[in-house]
Copies of this chain bind each other. A is one copy, B any other.
């Protein structure tokens, strides 16, 4: 099974030991990105994974490419060009102090400047079994928008299953009207099979009205139903976070046939970023394994629980580690 993902690669800089940037001149850097996180995790689960992206043609781009290989991601469709990679700083939170992410400019990046013609899209899609696109590419530049749409169209043409992740962040869209962005999303949604997102993606971006007075969960169910019908979506999946008496909780939902909800798991947060990608990886893996929805949801949620406890964005979990956690035989030490 071979998963292709189109997505940006970023540099993440993290000060050590929960320090703020102003407290230290030391950083650890990591090669990340939604596509990177997802593929690295799926590779650990046993899939073949390929990233379609552009990296700068300098030592930073070469380090990134080498690191992707280290993650087990195939580098045959990675192109080196330009001289910039988007980067962000992560000041790790603790207790009630939140983790703070500060982005540097990413629009000038090699990825954001690469147009569809620069990629062997036809070949990349044709030789894969599934395709994954992150919605952020619809928000960035004309080039990434066009590339994403062309990949979606090609997936349709070759009849490959298309995974699409909303990842809608209004703040990233600074040049276009919301209507324009909505239109782009709609183009992809009509090609997508499984979509990752939350209630706000449906209500705020797609303007689906949530019925009044219902509980949050009931609202989610209702708008999901409308969404799936209107855009011919096979499966809509997402997470639900809650915070009670100083503890964070996570659950997942999946609307394929019936709307299903996973168990709610308590999460100890070491590194908050990348947990959503771990959840997505869990869902995709469950589907490739043809597990039922219940097992798939549980696997995805437990994978996300582990991802919260791993430093950095990339969820370095394996199937057996997730299953050990699911089996409830909690061990604090494995020799």
Contacts and interface: CB of A to CB of B under 8 A. Distances in A.
A25 B25 contact: yes
A105 B91 contact: no
Contacts of A67: 70
A27 B29 CA distance: 7
A305 B93 CA distance: 13
Interface residues of A, number: 79
Contacts of A19: 311-312
B71 A66 contact: yes
B28 A95 contact: no
A221 interface: no
Contacts of A222: none
A91 to B, nearest CB: 7
Contacts of A334: 98-101
Contact of A305 (B30, B96, B330): B96
Q: Which of A22, A26, A107, A311 has the most CB of B within 10 A?
A: A22
Contacts of A63: 21-22
A105 B83 contact: yes
Interface in A207-236: none
B89 A21 contact: no
A332 B275 CA distance: 12
Interface in A236-274: 243, 246-248, 266-270, 272-273
A105 B108 contact: yes
A16 B15 CA distance: 13
A93 B309 contact: yes
A178 interface: no
B59 A102 contact: yes
A126 interface: no
CB-based closest 4 A-B pairs:
A95-B268, A84-B105, A97-B309, A70-B70
7 contacts: A20-B59, A22-B59, A23-B316, A25-B28, A26-B27, A60-B104, A95-B309
